[in-house]
Chain A
Amino acid sequence: MTSKLIARVIPCLDVKAGRVVKGVNFVDLRDAGDPVEMAAFYNDEGADELVFLDITASSDNRDTIIDVVQKTADQVFIPLTVGGGVRSVEDMRRLLAAGADKVAMNTAAVNNPDLINQGAAKFGTQCVVVAIDARRVPEEDRWEVFTHGGRTPTGIDAIVWARECKERGAGEILLTSMDRDGTLSGYDIALHQAIDAAVNIPVIASGGAGELSDFAEVIQQGHADAVLAASLFHFGTMRIRDVKAYLADDGIDVRMEAAV
């Protein structure tokens, strides 16, 4: 029997006003479909988990994501992580009650780190995911945390921040390389190695996957626990089962039974 958990393959659905969109380097959004239908599709494809990121800017449409989460949870029986616009314990409670298993926080956690402690105390560390958008400081092996969907530099060092998140009760980190996001040039392995060395909680790798080998590389060399991609899957460039078959061939444990 193995003691290591299998590597998870996670499609990410960026949802704006109830529709799935995915940007290249966070701008230039393209519409890729209905979130509930896509969730059901990925469930059948063998996705190990789903992530919804609500990128709706205004609070007017905040309830839209609750509705999407409810409808998805009604027919998708795999874990569901939801993030975007989460600013309070009450926001977390509503998402969890709607059927989310974990809630991801980004900007709100930077602005009010105590929210991580509060969420962990109230719902358990397993519910609290901190999403970190990191950009490499030019010419250095150092990364800066950005907030507001990648628009706002914070001056905070990503490694220091990851460690603080863990200490405050984050159960998982969703780590996005802003330099690589949308470029299809591979994950930022050095970033993942640095964060992995700093914290002993699971890390989901995000940003940059373009080839099947990119997924294996970030798991084997970057020590990522899970790999996340969006448009690659949405546009059918590659399928979940292709990724899993490649990983399995490379000696990485994956959950294969669900391949249709």
Chain B
Amino acid sequence: MIAIIDYGAGNLRSIQRALESHGAQVEITSAPERILAADRVVLPGVGNAKAAMEQLHDTGIADAVTGIAHKGTPLLGVCLGMQLLFGDQEEGPTTGLGLLEGNAVKLGDGLKVPHMGWNTVQFTGHSSLADQPEGYFYFVHSYVVQPDDERDIAGVTGYGEPFASVVIHENIWGTQFHPEKSHRAGLDLLGVWLRS
């Protein structure tokens, strides 16, 4: 069972249907015990980092996510959910889950923010995404992650300065874009994650 974590952060139906289109059994849940029991976990999210972290701590979800991440359960963070995998968050400011080394900062000055629309992802040759062709993905965000370890960066996108749009560190994956809104390219990438 794949647990999509519901902590009041927006539309979960699309990511559920996108995973189900691959035949996955999906449960939307906010219960820590269901998250701990899942074979895979998706941490979605739109909205404000500080409010999201408060919600995750208040509900016990933060501890559950940390628990599954440490025991090796595949975890996928999407959009804000990806940013929260890291430590210091400029939005708030607040502190994320700290499962990956690095931080989240606001997009550069002089850009239309939020970065909203389709943009390309160049995959960097990470072994899990070795054959992934460059493709268009749908983005909606105002902050980007800066991983400490460049080897965690599996995909890069240009908006002002290039930023990490896909990260992979062992069992922990993150995408800054919304794979569930990225048509075929996004569905394909979810398929790769489901087989990882």
- Report which A residues bind B (CB closer than 8 A): 1-3, 5-6, 8, 43, 48, 70, 73-75, 77-79, 96-101, 123-127, 171-172, 200-202, 225-226, 255, 257-258
Contacts and interface: CB of A to CB of B under 8 A. Distances in A.
B135 A73 contact: no
Contact of B112 (A78, A101, A201): A201
B183 A3 contact: no
Contacts of A2: 120, 158
Given A73-B17, A126-B114, A79 B181 contact: yes
A97 B46 CA distance: 13
20 contacts: A1-B158, A2-B120, A3-B158, A3-B159, A5-B118, A6-B118, A6-B136, A8-B117, A8-B118, A43-B183, A73-B17, A77-B17, A77-B181, A78-B183, A79-B181, A97-B11, A99-B14, A101-B11, A123-B47, A171-B116
A124 to B, nearest CB: 6
B114 A257 contact: no
Interface of B: 10-11, 13-14, 17-18, 21, 46-48, 111-112, 114-120, 122, 135-136, 138, 140, 156-160, 162, 180-187
A37 to B, nearest CB: 17
B182 A77 contact: yes
A175 to B, nearest CB: 16
Nearest to A99: B13
A77 B180 contact: yes
Given A3-B111, A5-B119, A202-B116, A124 B47 contact: yes
B155 to A, nearest CB: 12
A8 B111 CA distance: 18
B119 to A, nearest CB: 6
Max chain A Cβ within 10 angstroms of own Cβ: one of B158, B162, B181, B182: B181
Contacts of B160: 3
B118 A255 contact: yes
B117 A225 contact: yes
A125 B13 contact: no
A73 B120 CA distance: 23
A99 B12 CA distance: 8
B131 to A, nearest CB: 16
A117 to B, nearest CB: 15
Contact of B116 (A123, A172, A258): A172
Contact of A78 (B48, B122, B138, B157): B138
Given A73-B17, A77-B14, A202 B117 contact: yes
